[in-house]
Amino acid sequence: MTEPLLDIRGLKTHFKTDDGMVRAVDGVDIAIGRGETVGVVGESGCGKTVTAMTVMKLIAMPPGEIVEGEILWQGRDIVKMSPDEMRKIRSKEIGIIFQEPMTSLNPVYTVGDQIAEVVRLHEGLSRREATDRAIEMLRLVNIPTPERRVKDYPHQFSGGMRQRVMIAMALSCNPQLLIADEPTTALDVTIQAQILDLLAEMRERLGMAIMLITHDMGVVAETTHRVVVMYAGRVVEEATVDRLFGDPKHPYTQGLIRSIPRIDTAAEKKERLEAIGGVVPSLLHPPPGCRFAARCRFATDKCTEAMPPLRDVAPGHKVACVLYDA
């Protein structure tokens, strides 16, 4: 395998609180190749967003702290980078869009100025050139009459349109990786599909890799190549989309897949939609051993003894579960 674009190895990001250390991300490995779309899924609070924010070094420190691990970006370790080096990577090499398009844009500047700010910073364009680029980017993300819209303020756009603006902004310097942190969660279902289509279209045109963070298994199935399933700050399974949905190994993944509402099967077989019982364990004092053990119907004594490592069960299919110990 060639060197991946982004290689997160054994990353631990913890947060100091009054009650103790919260182990939000506690040993995560994710690799993303060039042009690849990788989905990161899991329930809220499992550390997906913190992982993404750590890659961009957007975690407030303190209270946050990268305790262990490395984040290799084209071979260079982001964890060890100085703030100045990191700034040159943000938006230039790695773009990011967030969950809340309504609040992610600064209300007092025009969307044109906000996109122009990025290209002026990283490419040293003049004000005029930057505005032209902004118009071009707005056109690229299918905003009608971009010449006029470029002078509008964020409040003059709908939620879906604002997310398009965010995408235009994140892609304006043609980064090699786009991190999309729950980009469709705050949007209407019809708009969600449009944004996902737009992301796919952008990937085809510009060729960047996408790290798509979501809790929605449906979104993952439609748009990604490979999927990383996270649970309580750890990766529990990783596989291609087809394998993951065709042959999920980890009981948590199986639970997630069973909880997707499906019109066809439900109508025919009268299957009940299954929810996973229980809640995500406290990240303050995580239980020893497998963190899913308390909610797992296959749990044995062995599960609570030691944390099962992530290991290959098939080529490109990794899982962290004692059930698959040789």
Partner 1 sequence: MSQYLIRRILIALPSLLGISLVLFTVLALAPGDPFGELAQNPAVPPEVAASLREKFGMDDPIWERYVKWLTQMLQGNWGFSFVSRVDVDVLIMQRLPTTLIVIGSSQILALLVALPVGVYAAVRPYSLFDQIATTLAFIGFSLPTFFTGLMLILIFSITLDWLPFVYQSNVEATGLAFYWEHFKQSIMPVSVLGLFQAGVLTRFVRSAVLDVVRLDFVTTARAKGLRERAVIVKHIVRNAMIPVVTLVALQMPAVFGGAVVTEQIFRVPGIGSLLIAAILANDTPVIMAVTFVFACLVILFNLIADLLYGWLDPRISYR
Which residue ranges make up the site for partner 1 (CB under 8 A)?
A: 56, 58, 83, 87-92, 95-96, 98, 100, 103-108, 110, 117-118, 121-122, 153, 155, 166, 169-170
Minimum CB distance to partner 1 smaller for 32 or for 96: 96
CB of residue 168 vs partner 1: minimum separation in angstroms?
Answer: 13
Query: Of the two residues 48 and 291, which places its CB atom closer to partner 1 in the complex?
Result: 48
Q: Which is nearer to partner 1, 117 or 222 (CB)?
A: 117
CB of 103 to partner 1, least distance (A): 4
Q: How far is the CB of 326 from partner 1 (least distance, A)?
A: 43
The phi and psi torsions of 164 (rounded to 5 degrees) equal -60, -40
Report the alpha-carbon angle 166-95-138, nearest 5.
35
173 vs 196 by CB, closer to partner 1: 173
Could you tell me if 300 and 293 are in contact, meaning their C-beta atoms sit under 8 angstroms apart? no
CA-CA distance, 207 to 4, in Å (whole number)?
Answer: 15
Tell me the closest approach of the beta carbon of residue 127 to partner 1, in angstroms.
15
Smallest gap from Cβ 184 to partner 1, in A, equals 16
**Minimum distance, C-beta of residue 9 to partner 1, in the bound complex (Å):** 23
Q: In the complex with partner 1, which residue's Cβ is closer, 96 or 220?
A: 96
Backbone angles phi, psi at 36, to 5 degrees: -95, 145
Judged by beta carbon, residue 166 or residue 227, the one nearer partner 1 is 166
Closest to partner 1 by CB, 102 or 310: 102
Instruction: Give the nearer residue to partner 1 in terms of CB position, either 83 or 315.
Output: 83
Distance (Å, rounded) from C-alpha 258 to C-alpha 274?
6
**Shortest distance in whole angstroms from residue 271 CB to partner 1:** 39
Residue 33 CB, nearest approach to partner 1 (Å): 23
